[in-house]
Amino acid sequence: MELVLTQRKDYQVHVTCDNHTSHTFDLQPLRLLGHWFERITHDPIRYGQLLFRALFPTDSLARQSLNTRPERIVLVATDDDLDTLPWEYLYGPTGFLVLEVPFVRGLPIEQRLSPPVLETALHIVAVPSNPLSPLVEPLNIDAEWEYLKESIDPLPFNITLERVRPPTLQQVRSLLANTHQRVLHFMGHGGQVKDGAFLHFEKENGDLDLVDTEQLISRIRDTTFLITLNACVSASPGPTAFSNLAASLVKANVPYALGMRFRIYDDDALVFSRIFYTELAQGASVEEALLRSRRCLAKRPRTWTVGVPVLYTSLATPTGGFVQRAGTPYIDEHQPRIEVSSIARAIGTFQGRTDDLKRLGNLLTGNNRPRILTICGSGGQGKTSLAREAIERFAYAWSGGVWGIMLDPLPDRPRFVNELAQFLGIDIQEIPHLEDLERQILRSLASRRILLVLDNAETLVEAIETNNSQAILLTQFLQQLANTSVNLLINSRIQLGWPNEITHELGA
């Protein structure tokens, strides 16, 4: 069943059903002006009934066709005023229409594509993006990624989930190059301006990169079958621009684009992702997978979530599902080994210090990285949390991994050497002599790009000033490391004063 809505003068909307005139309705009672999010979520049924009476009035051709129980409903809205309305909340005599039949928004018939045959198992490329910008609300991006992994990990199928690191447009292109029929799962923010919709990607240093539909399509053309646009974990639900973005993507010939109209609560988002991707892994079509996901959401306390997903398609007819293969999921974080448990993270979402992080990003990911980079500031300024956030964001640039240690209390040289050797995978039992172990470490580091993180380094400086022999011995070894391919990231209340040290001073 296909419904085409065309707005004429004086807010009158002409409806055709399967290429035949059905009726007209007045758009004005349906327009959502102030507090529209609250209006829908507070009483979705009442608004849904209003939509239903407009689109399926008694004795209309549209209503007669609906009574024949169509296999799917395709809605074509020919202008933005009509497309903006949340038709997914249509509520008829038996409930929400989207719980009874697949409901998808389509393009005018002359713009549609022939459906492809899916030849691969489900392969998801996830883009968790949390740019460093005062213009963008900070997100708990790692929690969102963990939710997606929790959705995928228990599935008994041979499917793949990859994380794009860093979440740049170029890295998306690198992972999608020479592939086809991928699912691109974007997690982050988007927006709408006069010239069109855009997504908030990151630059390599973490800064905000506004990517419009045209730029995205130019990088992923012919590689992606479905794009899902998911609003990330945040303090409260609210509207997003993702339904508009989804519409823009299918107009650029992406077969399917799924946008979330609102941010939803974490537990609902987890249920949706798990059911949706389980269904896709089992070979269900995108439209059927969405129908079953909505039905699961309908059983939860917040019934308004059933209308949150908005699915667009550029296809003339629905396609089948992904190839179903039994097995276990493969999850690739695209992250080197990180062993920094002694360096504490901020509680909750890291906020503030965006300019500091961007400068650290430039220094830690650029072509001319300083051998010794010291974050210097007084106590209580958040040096440790800042360093940990920088590690999490920019570890991708260190193929050999990141290892960190706290220098308060100050370790002696043998302990430091032993722990570093274990991180490097050196069997310390086979090399009992400290001098031999140090030589092996230096040989190993000659061919590996590694970032070593030293927290509370003022303890080391103060011990040297008192002629502490252990501190002097440890310093001598650290300075040897700085002459290899290793780089040192140091937190300290005072500068070390070592050769080639670059200092990043924290302001108040």
Residue owning tokens 């965006």 = 354
For residue 488, report the phi and psi dihedrals to the nearest 5 degrees.
-110, 130
Q: pLDDT over 70 for what percent of the chain? A: 95
pLDDT at 419: 96
Distance CA(494)–CA(470), nearest Å, equals 20
Read off the tokens for 365.
């990911």
Distance CA(10)–CA(306), nearest Å, equals 32
pLDDT at 240: 58
Contact 322, 283 (CB under 8 A): yes
Contact 26, 11 (CB under 8 A): yes
Measure the CA angle with vertex 400, ends 399 and 405; round to 5°. Answer: 125
**Domains of the chain in sequence order:** 2-101 (no CATH), 123-332 (3.40.50), 338-505 (3.40.50.300)
Read off the tokens for 84.
């903006």
| Half-sphere exposure of residue 305: CA atoms within 13 angstroms, side-chain side | 24
| Closest CA relative to residue 225, chosen from 151, 291, 289 | 289
Contact 217, 250 (CB under 8 A): no
Residues ≥6 apart with Cβ < 8 Å to 395 = 335, 336, 338, 401, 402, 451
Read off the tokens for 325.
């293969």
Read off the tokens for 329.
């999921």
pLDDT at 234: 37
pLDDT at 34: 65
Contact 91, 48 (CB under 8 A): yes
pLDDT tens sequence across 96-125 = 999 999 999 999 999 999 999 999 999 999
Looking at residue 437, what DSSP letter applies?
Answer: H
pLDDT at 238: 53
Q: Assess whether the previous peptide bond of 131 is cis (omega < 30° from 0).
A: no
pLDDT at 233: 39
pLDDT tens sequence across 37-94 = 787 888 999 999 999 999 999 999 999 999 999 999 999 999 888 998 999 999 999 9
Single-letter code of the amino acid located at 7: Q
> Reduced to 3 states, what is the DSSP secondary structure of residue 76?
strand
Distance CA(388)–CA(409), nearest Å, equals 19
Distance CA(303)–CA(301), nearest Å, equals 6
Looking at residue 491, what DSSP letter applies?
Answer: E
Distance CA(297)–CA(187), nearest Å, equals 20
Read off the tokens for 80.
């933005």
pLDDT tens sequence across 438-471 = 999 999 998 889 999 999 999 999 999 999 999 9
In the chain, % helix, strand, coil (3-state, to 5) comes to 35, 25, 40
Residues of the chain whose pLDDT is less than 70? 34-35, 194-195, 231-243, 347-349, 508
Read off the tokens for 472.
């002097």
